[in-house]
């Protein structure tokens, strides 16, 4: 199934002030005080502006930072990495490719066994789609991420 994702003006007009500040002005939400830092439900995280699929709970881990953190995106073509020196140090900003939303930053201090990356993201940039709602929400092709080879479900 092919989707066209883009920055949707109507979605931007519905953003909360915090969601707007984070996604459109490259802000950062407070650690440990955001919607998904401790979410353990199975599902995927999509851009709140464009709907493009970005991350999945199967790649989420507790980094101790207080933000949702992932080892990798589910669709690498949907994330763009940009050099960021806004705080006087060089970091790598992560933006959605089609919605151009600021998502967070990626660092090279993640778990070595999964590639060593730590995608430290802002909950305000996401809409969470629960595993059981993937079909209904138009993301059914991602259901396979949550199935064990033996047919059972996984986180």
Task: Just list the catalytic residues.
Answer: 120
Q: How far apart are the C-alpha atoms of 78 and 72, rounded to whole Å?
A: 12
Q: How far apart are the C-alpha atoms of 141 and 144, rounded to whole Å?
A: 7
Tokens of 149: 């080879």
Cβ atoms of 101 and 125 within 8 Å: the answer is: yes
Q: How far apart are the C-alpha atoms of 122 and 74, rounded to whole Å?
A: 16
């Amino acid at each position: 199934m092919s989707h066209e994702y883009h920055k949707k003006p109507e979605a931007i007009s519905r953003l909360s002030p915090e969601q707007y500040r984070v996604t459109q002005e490259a802000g950062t939400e407070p650690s440990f005080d955001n919607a998904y830092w401790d979410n353990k439900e199975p599902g995927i995280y999509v851009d709140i502006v464009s709907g493009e699929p970005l991350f999945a709970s199967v790649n989420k881990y507790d980094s101790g930072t207080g933000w949702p953190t992932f080892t990798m995106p589910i669709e690498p073509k949907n994330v763009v990495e940009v050099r960021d020196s806004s705080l006087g140090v060089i970091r790598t900003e992560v933006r959605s490719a089609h919605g151009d939303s600021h998502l967070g930053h990626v660092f090279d201090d993640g778990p070595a066994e999964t590639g060593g990356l730590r995608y430290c993201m802002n909950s305000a940039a996401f809409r969470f789609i629960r595993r059981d709602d993937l079909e209904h929400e138009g993301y059914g092709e991602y259901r396979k991420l949550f199935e064990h080879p033996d047919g059972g479900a996984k986180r």
